[in-house]
Chain A
Amino acid sequence: MTTALERPRGASALPGAATRIRTGAVQGSPAVLSIVAMIAIVILAAVIQPGVLSMNGITLMLTAAVPLVLATQAQMIIMAVGDIDLGVGALLGLVTVIAATVLTTSPALGLAMLAGIVVVYALLGFIIQRRGVPSIIITLGMSFVWLGLGLELLPTPGGQTPEWLSAIGQWRPELIPAPLVLIAVATVVAWLIARRSRFGTRLRALGSQPATLEKLGWSLVRTRMAAYAVAAVLLILAGLVMASQTRSGDVNSAGNFALMTIAAVILGGGNFAGGRAFPVGAAFGAITLGLITVLLSLVSLPSSFQSAAQGLIVLAVLAGRVITERFIRS
Chain B
Amino acid sequence: MTSTETTAIVDGTRGGTALLTVDAVSKRYGKTQALSTVSVELGEGEILGLVGHNGAGKSTLVRLLAGREASDTGAIRVAGLPEGAAFTAAAAERAGIRMVYQELALCPDLTVAENAALSDRRPTGALWRRRAERRIQDTLDEVFPGHGISVLDRSGEMPMAQRQMVEIARALCTDRLRLLILDEPTESLGVDAAEALYRYLHRRTADGVSAVLVSHRMHEVVGHSDRILVMKDGSIVGQYPGGTTAESTLLAAMGGEVSTDTGTLERVEAELDDQEQPAAAREGAAVLALTDSRGRELTARPGEIIGLAGLAGQGQEGVLARLWAPGLLSRSVTVPSSRAYVPGDRQVSGIFPLWTVAENLTIAATRALGRFGFVSGARKRELASTWVDMLRVRGGAAAPITSLSGGNQQKVLIARAFAADAELVLLDDPFRGVDVATKNEIYTLMKAEARSGRTIVWYSTDNKEMAHCDRVYVFRAGRIVSEMPGSDATEQRIIADSFDETEGELR
Contacts and interface: CB of A to CB of B under 8 A. Distances in A.
Nearest to B103: A211
A275 B108 contact: yes
Contact of A216 (B119, B130, B156): B119
B89 A10 contact: no
A100 to B, nearest CB: 39
Given A205-B118, A275-B107, A10 B152 contact: no
Nearest to A197: B128
B137 interface: yes
A209 B117 CA distance: 15
Interface stretch (B31-39, B138-146, B369-377, B378-386): B138-146
B367 interface: no
Interface string B301-331: 0000000000000000000000000000000
A207 B156 CA distance: 14
Contact of B110 (A8, A24, A205, A211): A205
A300 interface: no
B110 A201 contact: yes
A60 to B, nearest CB: 38
A11 B141 contact: yes
A201 B129 CA distance: 10
A: interface residue count bin: 35 or more
Nearest to B124: A198
A201 B118 contact: yes
A7 interface: yes
Contacts of B89: 217
A24 B153 CA distance: 9
Interface stretch (A13-21, A235-243, A280-288, A312-320): A13-21
Interface in B139-165: 139, 141-142, 145, 150-154, 156
A213 B89 CA distance: 13
B175 interface: yes
Contacts of B209: 1
A196 B129 contact: yes
A27 B153 CA distance: 8
Interface string A1-33: 111111110111011000110011001000000
25 contacts: A1-B208, A4-B135, A4-B139, A5-B135, A6-B138, A11-B141, A12-B137, A14-B133, A14-B134, A15-B133, A23-B150, A23-B153, A27-B154, A198-B117, A201-B110, A201-B114, A202-B118, A205-B114, A208-B108, A208-B156, A209-B109, A212-B118, A217-B119, A218-B118, A274-B109
Contacts of A8: 138, 141-142
A204 interface: yes
A23 B153 CA distance: 7
Contacts of B175: 1, 3-5
A218 B156 CA distance: 21
B109 A276 contact: yes
Interface in A96-155: none
Given A14-B133, A205-B110, A212-B105, A7 B138 contact: yes
Contact of B93 (A3, A204, A209, A217): A217
Contacts of B134: 5, 14
A15 B151 contact: yes
Interface in B93-118: 93, 101, 105-110, 114-115, 117-118
A242 B101 CA distance: 49
Given A11-B138, A27-B154, A1 B207 contact: yes
Contacts of B174: 4
Nearest to A211: B105
Contacts of A209: 105-109
A213 B105 CA distance: 9
B49 to A, nearest CB: 23
B270 interface: no
A202 B172 CA distance: 20
